[in-house]
Amino acid sequence: MSIENEKTIEVYRKNANKYLANTIEYDNIYPEKVKQKREKLEKFIKKNIELLPKGSKIFEIGSADGLNAKYIQSLGYDVTASDIAEDFINEIKKKGVKTIKFNVLEDEFIEKYSAVFCWRVFVHFTKEDALKVLQKTYDVLKKDGLFIFNAMNCEIKETSEEWVDFSNEFHMGTERYYKYFSKSELDDIITRIGYQIFDFHKEGGESNNKWLVYVLKKKDTIYNKK
């Protein structure tokens, strides 16, 4: 695990309650905007998760408030949510979702899954961290399993990485590490691991290109992972 990710995890462990409170406050100020974003995300989740048989086991990395895990569970799937901060874990459990404390960079998966979902988490991974996570998720997926994740697009930034806090709903009072990827950079890692890019699009921001959104499928072909 990189020092950047280690320091960022510590910020979340200490300030997850502030993150949750600010999110609720923001939701109350901009209810229509939040509703539209939520509906768009749930439409995307439903479109891809429902490619899998009902009851399939799905793991979420970095579940935060647990809304995504709860929605996936409502579609008829066996969901395990996870996070590294106790306040997040307690919040998820309130929603009736199976939850574990889990650091994907250090902890090992104990069973196979049909899909792994990872939303707004790659923003805190260095390139080396991202490579490790992509490899671990590939190894834990069943045949034809899906890995669904997004990463922030470096095209919107003048730097590829920075330490920053925000003034919006993600304000925590402490800077944490953010990494911005290019599509070509991620595509190279994805190809080396052996994933098939099943679906891809950009979304968010003024130019609709803030986020790189991937749906990957585990292929049978074994690549030479150099």
Mean pLDDT in residue range 141-146: 96
For the cut 90, the answer to whether the pLDDT of residue 92 exceeds it is: yes
Query: Which CATH fold would you assign to the domain 3-218?
Result: Rossmann fold (3.40.50)
Contact criterion met (CB below 8 Å) for 18 and 65:
no
Report which of 54, 60, 64, 108 is spatially closest to residue 86, judged by C-alpha positions: 64
For the cut 50, the answer to whether the pLDDT of residue 110 exceeds it is: yes
pLDDT at 224: 37
- The ranges assigned to domains in the chain are 3-218
What's the burial of 35, exposed, middle or buried (CB within 10 Å: 0-12/13-18/19+)?
exposed
Percent of the chain with pLDDT over 70: 96
> Residue 132: CB partners within 8 Å, gap ≥ 6?
105
Number of Cβ atoms within 10 Å of the Cβ of 165: 13
Mean pLDDT in residue range 100-129: 97
Q: How confident is the model at residue 200 (pLDDT cuts 50, 70, 90)?
A: very high
Mean pLDDT in residue range 76-84: 98
> Residue 47: CB partners within 8 Å, gap ≥ 6?
none
Query: In whole numbers, what is the pLDDT of the chain averaged over residues?
Result: 93
Give the span between the Cα atoms of 81 and 62, in whole angstroms: 8
Number of Cβ atoms within 10 Å of the Cβ of 156: 14
Contact criterion met (CB below 8 Å) for 213 and 202:
yes
At 136, phi and psi to the nearest 5?
-65, -40
pLDDT digits (tens, 9 = 90+) for 18-73: 999 988 888 889 899 999 999 999 999 999 999 999 999 999 999 999 999 999 99
Q: How confident is the model at residue 114 (pLDDT cuts 50, 70, 90)?
A: very high
Report which of 94, 106, 136 is spatially closest to residue 118, judged by C-alpha positions: 136
Q: In this structure, what token pair is assigned to residue 124?
A: 């805190």
Q: How confident is the model at residue 173 (pLDDT cuts 50, 70, 90)?
A: confident
For the cut 60, the answer to whether the pLDDT of residue 108 exceeds it is: yes
**Of the listed ranges 5-9, 18-22, 96-100, 160-164, the one predicted with least confidence:** 18-22
Rg (CA), the chain: 17
